């Protein structure tokens, strides 16, 4: 039996074929899952085009994760379609330009709040809206979010780094509150991958270059497959006793105290 055979999944955050979420969707389908994608606003066209390149082009639902009405509508559509949900990938993050790039001390509160709401609070909003569907499965449901190590301060990452620290905390509180309902919540802390989102971070190349010398296993910023494989594992029944975890998929960079080669 395939890893995700019979699973029904919602995958957010697919914009292009180079995105981590797209690779998750591709691997999930190849592992036996039935999937639906979500897109938002001007990105809906990109998501719809990317969906056509998947092995079995899925439907795309419009979802602004900051709008309770959208969350309720998507939950209702998934309920009508499947009556239950086995897992969801939260691959949603955004920070205004003035919240990134090295101007940390000058970022206005409104921009920091936007980064928090879209990148961290949205995990709670999405999980809460879908919890009634996620708790119905034999082995419960799985919520997986994409993270970037928030235990340290990074160059140029600024308030997105703060938002990721909040995301990590939100995931632990969700694991506490949803665990009794059979829903597990985990994050995958990925090394830097060249995506549209990464391209919006001033100085991303500077940040990513640290992995070339600091990751003992090496790291390919163009290959999202190892990250997606970890997500699919956490969405599977093999991870049914794991919650509140942050799984690092970064070539081992996070564990090193100094450059290794």
Residue-wise pLDDT tens digits, 164-188:
999 999 999 999 999 999 999 999 9
Q: Can you give the pLDDT at residue 141? A: 97
Q: Number of structural domains, the chain?
A: 1
d(CA 119, CA 163): 6
| Cβ pair 7, 32 in contact under 8 A | yes
d(CA 51, CA 58): 6
140 in a structural domain = yes
Q: What sign results for the dihedral spanned by CA atoms 71, 64, 182, 235?
A: positive
Q: Can you give the pLDDT at residue 138? A: 77
**Domain containing residue 196: CATH number:** 3.40.50.720
Q: Can you give the pLDDT at residue 168? A: 98
| Residue 52 annotated in active site | no
DSSP-assigned beta bridge partners for residue 10: 36, 88
B/e letters for 205-219, b = 16+ CB within 10 Å, e = fewer, are eebbebbeebbeeeb
Chain segment 122-167, per-residue pLDDT in tens: 999 999 999 999 998 778 899 999 999 999 999 899 999 999 999 9
164 in a structural domain = yes
d(CA 93, CA 167): 10
Give the three-class secondary structure for 64.
coil
261 in a structural domain = no
Residue 22, CB-side half-sphere exposure with 13 Å CA sphere: 23
Strands (E), the chain: 8-11, 34-39, 60-62, 87-90, 141-147, 183-190, 246-249
Q: Can you give the pLDDT at residue 207? A: 78
Determine if residue 87 is left, alpha or beta; phi over 0 gives left, psi from -120 to 50 gives alpha, anything else beta. beta
Could you say which of 7, 52, 138, 164 is catalytic?
164
3 in a structural domain = no
Q: Rounded to two decimals, what is the model's pTM?
A: 0.95
Q: Can you give the pLDDT at residue 66? A: 97
Return the biggest CA–CA distance within the chain. Answer: 54
For 96, residues 6+ apart whose C-beta sits below 8 A from its C-beta are: 111, 114, 115
Tokens of 157: 């990452």
Tell me the percentage of the chain whose pLDDT exceeds 90: 85
| Cβ pair 9, 2 in contact under 8 A | no
Could you say which of 7, 124, 138, 157 is catalytic?
157
258 in a structural domain = no
| Cβ pair 118, 99 in contact under 8 A | no
Q: Tell me the CA end-to-end span of the chain in Å, nearest whole number.
A: 41
Residues of the chain whose pLDDT is less than 70? Answer: 1, 195-201, 203, 260-261
Q: Can you give the pLDDT at residue 198? A: 61
Which domain covers residue 207, as residue numbers?
8-251
24 in a structural domain = yes
| Residue 124 annotated in active site | no
Q: Name the DSSP letter for residue 216.
A: T
């Amino acid at each position: 039996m395939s890893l995700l055979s019979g699973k029904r999944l919602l995958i957010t955050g697919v914009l292009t074929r180079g995105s981590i979420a797209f690779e998750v969707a591709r691997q999930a389908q190849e592992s036996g899952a039935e999937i639906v994608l979500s897109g938002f606003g001007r990105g809906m066209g990109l998501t719809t085009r990317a969906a056509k390149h998947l092995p079995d082009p899925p439907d795309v639902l419009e979802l602004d994760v900051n709008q309770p009405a959208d969350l309720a509508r998507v939950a209702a559509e998934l309920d009508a379609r499947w009556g239950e949900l086995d897992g969801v990938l939260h691959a949603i993050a955004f920070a205004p330009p003035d919240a990134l790039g090295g101007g940390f001390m000058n970022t206005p509160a409104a921009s920091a709040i936007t980064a928090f709401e879209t990148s961290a609070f949205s995990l709670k909003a999405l999980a809460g809206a879908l919890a009634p569907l996620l708790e119905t499965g034999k082995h419960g449901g799985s919520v997986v979010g994409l993270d970037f190590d928030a235990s340290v301060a990074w160059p140029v990452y600024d308030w997105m780094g703060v938002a990721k620290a909040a995301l990590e905390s939100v995931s632990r509180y969700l694991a506490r509150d949803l665990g009794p309902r059979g829903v597990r919540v985990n994050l995958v802390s990925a090394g830097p991958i060249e995506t549209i989102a990464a391209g919006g971070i001033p100085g991303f190349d500077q940040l990513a270059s640290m992995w070339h010398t600091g990751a003992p296993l090496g790291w390919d910023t163009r290959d999202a497959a190892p990250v997606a494989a970890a997500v699919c594992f956490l969405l599977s029944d093999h991870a049914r006793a794991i919650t509140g975890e942050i799984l690092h998929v970064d070539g081992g960079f996070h564990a090193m105290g100094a450059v290794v080669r």
